[in-house]
Structures are given as structure tokens and as C-alpha cells.
């Protein structure tokens, strides 16, 4: 059985200056309760790894608005003007990564791989500082794996063993991030007393360290 913890206990697990993967695609499949606890505890200096910085008033976007993020590794920031403002003011560092590349970097981190070759970004600003490798007469960028100290992920439903079901598009980045962090915190909408049907399981409980209950 996975360790059941309250939302407030989950928030206290996150340490200053940690790297944190946060699941979700904008507001879809985002673990907002643990994020609110991080904000409440004013845990700053974070490196945020996510698809996006959401919106100023929602989930991980509020981490930006509260100036708790020193670096964001994301695919876009256009929906959160505050990210752009802090970037232009030199208050935050932003690494923009093509979406498919970001997913694959996280997958490599979870699988213990040394990286992968991709033509995406070749000849653009994305190439800056990266190793270019030629294979079969074509040039590729070497993209390195991504891991994090913590991953905070969402689930539609979970059982007490940490097995999780994610409905539809809520799967997005949550599934791959569950494999690529030292500590994985799962925030489900519902915890079942009965084990999930194996055919339902989206994220096996072996990847989950902590299961967040609905209690504060």
C-alpha cells in the first residue's frame, strides 16, 4: 500500500530550489491542490518542468505569479503574460522546448537513456548550445534526458496501491512524468477502497511514492 498523505503534508515534501515536474496541459489534468500548498508555504527557487505555464490564476501559473519559479522548461508561455513579463525583466529563465522533444526528453529520463537524436529545431535557435550529430547523411540535434526531484501528477481515480486511472486527455504529460522523478506525488480526484481493474490502470502504482487524500 502506498503512503497516504494529506494535501498539506504533500506540500511540505517540496523543498526550496527543487526541480518539479507538473502534469497537465493548460488546465486539463493539473494537480492544483498540491500546487496551492506550495504557494501557501512559499517554497521558491523552483525549476518547473511542464508543458506550459498555464494561466496566471490557475495551477502552475500561480507558481509563476507568486514568483516561486526561477526557471521554467516548457513548450510555450503565451497563455500566461506574467511569465513573459518576468522573462523580459530578467526575473525568470525560460527554456522553450518543442512539445514532442520535451515529452521524449522526459521519457528518456524515465527510461534511463542518454538522450535521442531529432531533426526538430535544426537550423533554429533551438540548436544553440546543442551537439549536432550526422547519421546517414542527415544532421540531428542531440537532446538530453530530463529528470526532476519531484513530479506532481493528477489522476481521475486511484486505488490505495497507487495505481491510477486518468480519463481521456487528462493523461497528457502525467503518464510520462510519473516515470522520471525521484519522488512522485499523485493527486487523484477519488481514491477507491477496491483495487482498480488492471485494464483501467493508466499509471502503475510502482511509480507512485505518495498518494494524496482529500483531507487537508
Q: For residue 20, tell me if it sits in a domain.
A: yes
Residue 2: predicted pLDDT: 75
- pLDDT at residue 152 above 80? yes
Q: What is the span of the domain harbouring residue 80?
A: 3-111+146-212
Q: For residue 137, tell me if it sits in a domain.
A: no
d(CA 120, CA 124): 9
Q: Which residue has the cell 496501491?
A: 161
| 8 Å CB contact between 173 and 25 | yes
CATH number for position 18? 3.40.1080.10
Residue 125: predicted pLDDT: 86
d(CA 49, CA 71): 9
d(CA 128, CA 31): 33
List, in order, residues 6 or more apart from 30 with CB less than 8 Å away: 22, 23, 24, 54, 58, 59, 60, 154
Residue 206, helix vs strand vs coil: helix
The Cα diameter of the chain in Å comes to 58
Task: Kindly indicate the confidence band of residue 215, based on its pLDDT and cuts at 50, 70 and 90.
Answer: low
Q: For residue 153, tell me if it sits in a domain.
A: yes
Please tell me the pTM assigned to this model: 0.95
Residue 214: predicted pLDDT: 72
Instruction: Note the residue count of the chain.
Output: 216
- What's the N-to-C CA distance of the chain in angstroms? 20
Q: For residue 122, tell me if it sits in a domain.
A: no
Q: For residue 123, tell me if it sits in a domain.
A: no
Q: For residue 133, tell me if it sits in a domain.
A: no
Please count the structural domains in the chain: 1
d(CA 56, CA 4): 30
Q: For residue 135, tell me if it sits in a domain.
A: no
pLDDT tens profile 26-82: 999 999 999 999 999 999 999 999 999 999 999 999 999 999 999 999 999 999 999
d(CA 178, CA 63): 20
- What cell was used for 103? 515529452
Q: For residue 49, tell me if it sits in a domain.
A: yes
d(CA 86, CA 64): 9
Amino acid at each position: 500500500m502506498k503512503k497516504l498523505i494529506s494535501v498539506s503534508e504533500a506540500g511540505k515534501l517540496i523543498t526550496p530550489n527543487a526541480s518539479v515536474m507538473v502534469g497537465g496541459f493548460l488546465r486539463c489534468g493539473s494537480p492544483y491542490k498540491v500546487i496551492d500548498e506550495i504557494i501557501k508555504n512559499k517554497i521558491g527557487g523552483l525549476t518547473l518542468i511542464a508543458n506550459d505555464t498555464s494561466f496566471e490564476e490557475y495551477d502552475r501559473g500561480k507558481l509563476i505569479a507568486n514568483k516561486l519559479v526561477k526557471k521554467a522548461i516548457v513548450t510555450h508561455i503565451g497563455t500566461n503574460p506574467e511569465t513573459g513579463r518576468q522573462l523580459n525583466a530578467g526575473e525568470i529563465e525560460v527554456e522553450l522546448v518543442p512539445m514532442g522533444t520535451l515529452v521524449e526528453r522526459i521519457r528518456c529520463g524515465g527510461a534511463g537513456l542518454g538522450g535521442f537524436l531529432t531533426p526538430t529545431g535544426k537550423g533554429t535557435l533551438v540548436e544553440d548550445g546543442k551537439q549536432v550529430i550526422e547519421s546517414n547523411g542527415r544532421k540531428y540535434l542531440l537532446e538530453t534526458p530530463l529528470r526532476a526531484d519531484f513530479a506532481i501528477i493528477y489522476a481521475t481515480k486511484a486505488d490505495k496501491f497507487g495505481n491510477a486511472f486518468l480519463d481521456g486527455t487528462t493523461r497528457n504529460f502525467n503518464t510520462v512524468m510519473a516515470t522520471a522523478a525521484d519522488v512522485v506525488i499523485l493527486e487523484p480526484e477519488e481514491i477507491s477502497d477496491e483495487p482498480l481493474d488492471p485494464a483501467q490502470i493508466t499509471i502503475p502504482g510502482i511509480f507512485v511514492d505518495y498518494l494524496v487524500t482529500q483531507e487537508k
